C-alpha cells in the first residue's frame, strides 16, 4: 500500500465526549472504578487474580444479601445472566409461569421457548407491578409448572414488583423462581436469602456504577440441586454452570473454562468495595432521597409519572411526555446542548415517556439539578405547557430536607 494511502486511512484514537448519563443505563462510572479498569492486566489464573475472584464473590454476596455459595459474575452482560438462569433451570417440555409487565418479561418468554419449554404468560399493564393474584391463579391452573419467572424492577417502565410475595406464592406451588434484578441491585432492597429467591441475575452498569459487560448471578441450594440433576444437557456450553463452576467454584484448584474479562472484573471489584463502604442500606436510602427530589422538581414543572407511587422504582423514572412535544427532539437537544442523556420509551411506551435514571454514581444532587434545569430550558423553548421558574427551588428544598 502506498504511503499516501496509508496516511489517508489513518484513524485517531477515540476520545468520547463527557456526558451525564441519566438514562436507563449505563450510568455514570465513578472515577475510582475507571482507575481500577486501567490497572495492569494479569492472567485469569494468576494467584493474585484468583484471590480477587474470591473477594468479588464475597462482595456480591453482600450486595445480594445472601450466603449462597454459587454467587458469581457471568462474563457477559445482564442478558447473559438472564440466559444463564433459564438454560440451567429450565428443561425441554416443562411449563414456566412468565410474568410480563414490560419489555423484559417478553425476553424471559423468549428464553423459555428457546429452552424447548412452554411459557404460561401472566400479563399486566405496562407501568404496573405484577399482580400476585394473577400468578396464584396461573399456578392453580397449571399445577405441573416448574418455575416462576418475573422482573423485580422493570427497566422499560420503572415499575417494581413485590418480589417477596411472588416468591412465596411460587414456593407454595413447588416452583423455583427466577428473578430479574438488573435495575434493582444496589438501588432498592434486594434480599435474596430473606425472600428465599432461588435464582437471580443483575447487571453491573446500573446501580453498581460499573461498566457494562458483566452479570452478577446467585443460585440457592434448591436451584443448584435442579442443575445437578437435569435430564438434559444444558443447551449452552458457555453458560453451563456445571462447567463454569470449575473456574469460579473453588479457590484451591481452578479449571480453565474461559478467559475472564480481567480488567472489567477489576472495575466490578472496586464498585463492590465502594458499595460496601457506603453500606447497601445507605445506598438504597440515597436512591430513594434523590428520587423524591427529582419528583419534586418535575411535578412542580407540571410533568407526571406513569407508575403509581407505591409501585415506582426510585432509580428509574418513567415520565409522561407533554402533549405536542416530540420525544426525539428533546433528547437530542439535551444531548447536544447539555451533554445530558435520558432514555426513550420502549415498546408500547415509545414516544410516550422519557426514562430518567438515577442509578449508582448518577444518583447525585448535581445531576438532578442539571436534569431539571435542562428540561425546563428545552421544554420552555419548545412551548410545552409547563410551569417555569419553580422546579429547581422545589428540588433543592427536597434535597435539603
- Within 8 A by CB and 6+ apart from 111, the residues are 82, 83, 86, 87, 90
What average pLDDT score do residues 85-103 get? Answer: 98
For the cut 90, the answer to whether the pLDDT of residue 254 exceeds it is: no
**What is the pLDDT, as a whole number, of residue 302?**
97
- pLDDT by residue (tens digit) across 120-143? 999 999 999 999 999 999 999 999
**What is the pLDDT, as a whole number, of residue 7?**
59
For the cut 60, the answer to whether the pLDDT of residue 287 exceeds it is: yes
- Within 8 A by CB and 6+ apart from 320, the residues are 303, 304, 305, 306, 352, 353
CB atoms within 10 A of CB 43: 12
Q: Tell me the pLDDT band of 252, cut-offs 50, 70 and 90.
A: low
For the cut 60, the answer to whether the pLDDT of residue 1 exceeds it is: no
**What is the pLDDT, as a whole number, of residue 259?**
87
Q: Give exposure, 100-121, as e/b (b: 16+ Cβ within 10 Å).
A: bbbbbbbbbbebbeebebbbbb
Whether 142 contacts 172, CB under 8 Å: no
- Tell me if residue 357 falls in helix, strand or coil: strand
What average pLDDT score do residues 252-266 get? Answer: 86
Q: How far apart are CA 99 and CA 105, in angstroms?
A: 6
Helices 47-64 and 262-278 sit at what angle, rounded to 10 degrees?
A: 40
**What is the pLDDT, as a whole number, of residue 344?**
97
Pick from 30, 337, 366: which is nearest to 207 by CA? Answer: 30
For the cut 70, the answer to whether the pLDDT of residue 193 exceeds it is: yes
Q: How far apart are CA 170 and CA 149, in angstroms?
A: 9
- pLDDT by residue (tens digit) across 194-244? 999 999 999 999 999 999 999 999 999 999 999 999 999 999 999 999 888
Q: How far apart are CA 369 and CA 294, in angstroms?
A: 8
Helices (H) and strands (E) in the chain, counts: 15, 14
For the cut 90, the answer to whether the pLDDT of residue 85 exceeds it is: yes
CA distances to 89, 153, 370 from 367, in Å: 40, 22, 5
Q: Tell me the pLDDT band of 2, cut-offs 50, 70 and 90.
A: low
Burial class of residue 21 in the structure, from the number of CB atoms within 10 Å of its CB (0-12 exposed, 13-18 middle, 19+ buried): buried
Burial class of residue 89 in the structure, from the number of CB atoms within 10 Å of its CB (0-12 exposed, 13-18 middle, 19+ buried): buried
What average pLDDT score do residues 64-88 get? Answer: 96
Q: What percentage of residues in the chain have a pLDDT greater than 70?
A: 97
Query: What mean pLDDT, rounded, does the chain reach?
Result: 95
**Structural domains in the chain, sorted by start:** 31-276 (3.40.640.10), 280-400 (3.90.1150.10)
Q: How far apart are CA 218 and CA 70, in angstroms?
A: 6
What average pLDDT score do residues 246-269 get? Answer: 85
The secondary structure of 66-102 as a DSSP string is ---SEEEEESS-HHHHHHHHHHHH--TT-EEEEEESS
C-alpha cell at 281: 442500606
- pLDDT by residue (tens digit) across 359-392? 999 999 999 999 999 999 999 999 999 999 999 9
Pick from 60, 69, 37: which is nearest to 251 by CA? Answer: 69
**What is the pLDDT, as a whole number, of residue 61?**
98
Whether 285 contacts 76, CB under 8 Å: no
**What is the pLDDT, as a whole number, of residue 168?**
98
Burial class of residue 232 in the structure, from the number of CB atoms within 10 Å of its CB (0-12 exposed, 13-18 middle, 19+ buried): exposed
Instruction: Name the least confident of 28-37, 251-260, 370-379.
Output: 251-260
What average pLDDT score do residues 33-56 get? Answer: 94
For the cut 80, the answer to whether the pLDDT of residue 37 exceeds it is: yes
Q: How far apart are CA 240 and CA 234, in angstroms?
A: 6
CA distances to 127, 162, 242, 352 from 347, in Å: 12, 23, 36, 10
Helices 132-141 and 163-172 sit at what angle, rounded to 10 degrees?
A: 20
Return the half-sphere exposure (C-beta side, CA atoms, 13 A cut-off) of residue 56.
Answer: 26
Amino acid at each position: 500500500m502506498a504511503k499516501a494511502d496509508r496516511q489517508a486511512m489513518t484513524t485517531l484514537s477515540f476520545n468520547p465526549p463527557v456526558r451525564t448519563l441519566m438514562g436507563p443505563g449505563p450510568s455514570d462510572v465513578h472515577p475510582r472504578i475507571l482507575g481500577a479498569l486501567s490497572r495492569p492486566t494479569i492472567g485469569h489464573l494468576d494467584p493474585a487474580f484468583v484471590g480477587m475472584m474470591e473477594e468479588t464473590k464475597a462482595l456480591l454476596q453482600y450486595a445480594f444479601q445472601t450466603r449462597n455459595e454459587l454467587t458469581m459474575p457471568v462474563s457477559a452482560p445482564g442478558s447473559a445472566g438472564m440466559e444463564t438462569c433459564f438454560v440451567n433451570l429450565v428443561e425441554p417440555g416443562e411449563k414456566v409461569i412468565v410474568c410480563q409487565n414490560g419489555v423484559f418479561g417478553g425476553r424471559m418468554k423468549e428464553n423459555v421457548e428457546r429452552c424447548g419449554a412452554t411459557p404460561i404468560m401472566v400479563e399486566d399493564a405496562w407501568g404496573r407491578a405484577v399482580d400476585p393474584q394473577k400468578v396464584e391463579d396461573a399456578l392453580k391452573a397449571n399445577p405441573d409448572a416448574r418455575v416462576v419467572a418475573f422482573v423485580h424492577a422493570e427497566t422499560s417502565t420503572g415499575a417494581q414488583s413485590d418480589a417477596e410475595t411472588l416468591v412465596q406464592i411460587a414456593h407454595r406451588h413447588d416452583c423455583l423462581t427466577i428473578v430479574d434484578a438488573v435495575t434493582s441491585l444496589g438501588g432498592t432492597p434486594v434480599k435474596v436469602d430473606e425472600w428465599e429467591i432461588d435464582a437471580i441475575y443483575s447487571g453491573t452498569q446500573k446501580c453498581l456504577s460499573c461498566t457494562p459487560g458483566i452479570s452478577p448471578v446467585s443460585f440457592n441450594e434448591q436451584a443448584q440441586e435442579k442443575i445437578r440433576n437435569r435430564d438434559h444437557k444444558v443447551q449452552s456450553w458457555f453458560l453451563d454452570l456445571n462447567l463454569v463452576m470449575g473456574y469460579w467454584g473453588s479457590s484451591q484448584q481452578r479449571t480453565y473454562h474461559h478467559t475472564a474479562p480481567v480488567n472489567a472484573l477489576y472495575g466490578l471489584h472496586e464498585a463492590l468495595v465502594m458499595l460496601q463502604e457506603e453500606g447497601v442500606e445507605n445506598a438504597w436510602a440515597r436512591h430513594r432521597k434523590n428520587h423524591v427530589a427529582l419528583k419534586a422538581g418535575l411535578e412542580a414543572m407540571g410533568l407526571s409519572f406513569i407508575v403509581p407511587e407505591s409501585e415506582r422504582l426510585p432509580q428509574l423514572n418513567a415520565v409522561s411526555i407533554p402533549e405536542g412535544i416530540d420525544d426525539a427532539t428533546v433528547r437530542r437537544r439535551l444531548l447536544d446542548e447539555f451533554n445530558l442523556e435520558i432514555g426513550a420509551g420502549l415498546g408500547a411506551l415509545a414516544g410516550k415517556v422519557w426514562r430518567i435514571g438515577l442509578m449508582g454514581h448518577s444518583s447525585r444532587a448535581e445531576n438532578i439539578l442539571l436534569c431539571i434545569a435542562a428540561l425546563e430550558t428545552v421544554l420552555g423553548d419548545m412551548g410545552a405547557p409547563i410551569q417555569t421558574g419553580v422546579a429547581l427551588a422545589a428540588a433543592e428544598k427536597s434535597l435539603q430536607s
